[in-house]
C-alpha cells in the first residue's frame, strides 16, 4: 500500500541497544499503522455482519497490511533522503536516514525485508482465497516500493493521493472482506472509499506543510502542482466525503438496513478544528497537530463504523 505521512515525535539521539530499537521503532512510524488497521477493521466488521467473518484470515490481512505499511515507511525514509526531500529545514518530525541515525543501505534492506515478510503472509491468503490475492498483494507491495523509490516515484509525480485513496480504501477493505467471504459485494468497495479518503487527507496535510521544500527538490505533489488553495479544498472534500457522503450512500444503498452506520459521521464533529486550521494556517509545522488528529480521526471513524454497521 502506498505510504502515509506521520506525526511521531523526533527520534532521540541516545546510545545503546535500547536507543537503537527506539530509532527503528520511530522509523517504522507506529502512528501510521492506524491507516492500515482502519480498512481491515471495516472490512472485517462488514464480514461479521454478513456472517462470514473468518478470524485467521482477518488477522493475516492485518499483519500483511502492517508489514507493507512499515516497509513503505522505510522505503519512504530512504527515498526522500536520496532525492533530497528530507533536508535540515524540514517541517515534519526527524527522519532516521536524514539524521544519520540509520545508514541508507540499512534502511533500504529493512524495507525489502518487510515487503518479503508481507509476501510470506500473503501465501496463506492466496491458499485460502485464490489467485485474486496474488494481484492484490503484488500491486500493494509494488506501490509501496515505487511510492518514493525508483526512477518514476509516484509521490514525486503527484500520484500519491490517488494511490493512497485506492490502496488504503477499496483495495484494503475489499481485500479484507474477500479473504473471509470469498466474494466482494459492491457496498464493501463503496465503504472502502471512506478510509481511503481519510488516509488521503493525512497525505494532503503532509504535502501542504511541505509544499516549499517539495517544490525545491522537484517533488510535484498535487499541492505543489496546483497550489495551497486547491490543497485546502482537497482536504475538505476528503474529510466530508469520508465522514458524511460515504455513510449516507451506504445507508441508502442498504435500504435502511444499516441505518446506524451514520454513527461514523460523528467523526466530523471532532475534525472541525482540523478543517479550520487547514483552511487558514500557512504551510508550516503548525500543521503537524492536524496530521496527528486526522490520523486519530481515521481510527475513530473505523471503530464507529464497525459498531454502527453491526448494531
Encode pLDDT of 68-104 as tens digits. Answer: 999 999 998 998 888 776 665 566 677 888 888 899 9
Structural domain includes residue 84: yes
Whether residue 7 is predicted with pLDDT greater than 60 in this model: the reply is no
Residue 13: pLDDT above 70? no
pLDDT interval class at 149 (50, 70, 90): confident
Q: What is the pLDDT of residue 173?
A: 98
CATH code for position 303: 1.10.600
DSSP state of 263: G
Q: What is the pLDDT of residues 216-234, one digit of tens each?
A: 888 899 999 999 999 999 9
Burial of 30-54, coded b for 16+ CB within 10 Å and e otherwise, reads: ebbbbbbbbbbbbbbbbbbbbeebb
Is 286 part of any domain?
A: yes
**Structure pTM?**
0.90
Domain-located, residue 7: no
Q: Over 70: is that where the pLDDT of 141 sits?
A: yes
CB 264 within 8 A of CB 249: no
- Type and span of the H or E element at 67: helix 55-82
Give the pLDDT score at 82.
85
Q: Which pLDDT score is estimated for 142? A: 92
Q: Evaluate whether 229 touches 254 at the Cβ level (below 8 Å).
A: no
Judge whether residue 275 has pLDDT over 90. yes
What total of structural domains would you count in the chain? 1
In whole numbers, what is the pLDDT of the chain averaged over residues? 90
Q: How many CA atoms lie within 13 A of 208 on its CB side?
A: 27
Distance separating alpha carbons of residues 63 and 243, to the nearest angstrom: 26
Q: Is residue 11 part of a domain?
A: no
Domain extent for 158: 17-310
Residue 140 near residue 203 (C-beta atoms within 8 A):
no
The DSSP element (H or E) to which 87 belongs, if any, is none
Alpha helices in 83-131 (DSSP H): 104-129
Question: Is 12 a domain residue?
Answer: no
Q: Is residue 12 pLDDT above 80, yes or no?
A: no
* DSSP string covering 33-56: HHHHHHHHHHHHHHHHHTT---HH
Residue 10's pLDDT band (boundaries 50, 70, 90)?
very low
CB 40 within 8 A of CB 14: no
Residue 11 has pLDDT above 60, yes or no: no
Share above pLDDT 70 across residues of the chain, in percent, rounded to a whole number: 91
pLDDT at position 17, please?
65
Amino acid at each position: 500500500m502506498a505510504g502515509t505521512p506521520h506525526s511521531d515525535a523526533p527520534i532521540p539521539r541516545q546510545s545503546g541497544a535500547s536507543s537503537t530499537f527506539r530509532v527503528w521503532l520511530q522509523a517504522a512510524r507506529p502512528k501510521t499503522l492506524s491507516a492500515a488497521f482502519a480498512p481491515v477493521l471495516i472490512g472485517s466488521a462488514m464480514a461479521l455482519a454478513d456472517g462470514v467473518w473468518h478470524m485467521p484470515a482477518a488477522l493475516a490481512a492485518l499483519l500483511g497490511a502492517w508489514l507493507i505499511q512499515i516497509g513503505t515507511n522505510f522505503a519512504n525514509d530512504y527515498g526522500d533522503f536520496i532525492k533530497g526531500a528530507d533536508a535540515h529545514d524540514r517541517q515534519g518530525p526527524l527522519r532516521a536516514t536524514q539524521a544519520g541515525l540509520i545508514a541508507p543501505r540499512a534502511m533500504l534492506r529493512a524495507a525489502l525485508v518487510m515487503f518479503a515478510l508481507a509476501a510470506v503472509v500473503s501465501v496463506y491468503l492466496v491458499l485460502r482465497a485464490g489467485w485474486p490475492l496474488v494481484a492484490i498483494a503484488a500491486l500493494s507491495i509494488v506501490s509501496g516500493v515505487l511510492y518514493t523509490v525508483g526512477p518514476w516515484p509516484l509521490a514525486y509525480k503527484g500520484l500519491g493521493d490517488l494511490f493512497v485513496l485506492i490502496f488504503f480504501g477499496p483495495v484494503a477493505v475489499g481485500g479484507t472482506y474477500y479473504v473471509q467471504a470469498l466474494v466482494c459485494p459492491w457496498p464493501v468497495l463503496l465503504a472502502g472509499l471512506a478510509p481511503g479518503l481519510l488516509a488521503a487527507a493525512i497525505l494532503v496535510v503532509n504535502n501542504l506543510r511541505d509544499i516549499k521544500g517539495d517544490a525545491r527538490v522537484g517533488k510535484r505533489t498535487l499541492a505543489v502542482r496546483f497550489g495551497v488553495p486547491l490543497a485546502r479544498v482537497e482536504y475538505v472534500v476528503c474529510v466530508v466525503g469520508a465522514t458524511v457522503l460515504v455513510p449516507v450512500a451506504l445507508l441508502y444503498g442498504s435500504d435502511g438496513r444499516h441505518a446506524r452506520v451514520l454513527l461514523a459521521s460523528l467523526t466530523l464533529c471532532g475534525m472541525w478544528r482540523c478543517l479550520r486550521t487547514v483552511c487558514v494556517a500557512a504551510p508550516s509545522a503548525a500543521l503537524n497537530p492536524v496530521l496527528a488528529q486526522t490520523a486519530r480521526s481515521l481510527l475513530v471513524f473505523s471503530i464507529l463504523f464497525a459498531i454502527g454497521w453491526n448494531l
